Homo-oligomer: A and B are copies of this chain.
Amino acid sequence: MTGINRSAAQLLATIVGNKKVGQYHQILISVGELVSQCKPGNFVAISVGGPNSRMVLRRAFAISRTTTSPQYGGAIELIVAPFGSGSSWLCGLSEGEQIDITLPLGTAFGIPTTSVNALLVGGGYGSAPLFGLAEVLKERGCRVDMLLGASTGSKIYAPLEGKRSVNSLRIFTEDGSMGETGRITAPIAQLVSELQIDVIYSCGPMAMLKAISEILAGGDVVHQCAVEEAMACGIGICMTCVLPVKDESGKINNLRSCIDGPVMDGSAIEWDLVGKTLVL
């Protein structure tokens, strides 16, 4: 258990970019020196709706990547789907506007110390943090293959520059409007053996993460997945975001996905118990 977010800080940050990409908004936020603390997998919690907002809770967004530029210093990028009232408000902000953010939060993807074969699997905007991760893995000499999936093409997030850092990229859409037709989980079993995958990094809807875990069950492949449970606080004080996780002794506990996650060991999550009452 992490316990606390050691490097987390709260700040008023300025939007320095907001661009529509397919059905998403690519939002760039200037955060100064804090970029150096942000690792792939970490997320940021943003206060939404402005001073008269009836929305009392922050919204969590994965940090897609970090950049530094002479103009605005360190910045983080988010890929936001304008879904409900909070995310739509965020997508409606213009350059120069300020937002109250807390970052970096939660666990990060574990980076292997040796060069391994990694498969990155992203569903919808879940692909966002994977490109930054891919770069880090590449630097460590890993082979990096990537699968992206979504219901339809406009929900695939795959920036051109991101493709450079992967050895292969396959895209699946359920309606066939982009890439191959079908579910992203279909090719995984075969790829794992063909490419001799050591570790899968995944990010996307819970159903996708669960399906991957089931495919890998019993095998040796490590599964690091970034989960997305509804979070009221994002910093570990409310206990709303829990998931049933098995510890080394086999005991199942409800762990907070905001602070013991979002990156968790997929094989330790008791997927069938998610949404069920746990008896200790």
Residue numbers of A with Cβ under 8 A of B are 48-55, 85, 89
Contacts and interface: CB of A to CB of B under 8 A. Distances in A.
A55 B54 CA distance: 8
Copies per assembly: 2
Contacts of A89: 52
6 contacts: A49-B52, A50-B50, A51-B85, A52-B54, A52-B85, A53-B53
Contacts of A53: 52-54
Nearest to A53: B52
Chain A residues touching B, majority SS:
loop
A97 to B, nearest CB: 12
A122 B52 CA distance: 31
Question: Which 3 A-B residue pairings sit nearest by Cβ, starting from the closest?
Answer: A54-B54, A49-B52, A52-B53
A119 to B, nearest CB: 40
A48 B48 CA distance: 17
A54 B53 CA distance: 6
Contacts of A55: 52
Contacts of A52: 48-50, 52-55, 85, 89
A89 B54 CA distance: 15
A275 to B, nearest CB: 28
Contacts of A85: 51-52
A53 B51 CA distance: 9
Q: Which of A49, A50, A52, A89 has the most CB of B within 10 A?
A: A52
Contacts of A48: 52
Contacts of A50: 50, 52
A89 B51 CA distance: 9
A89 to B, nearest CB: 6
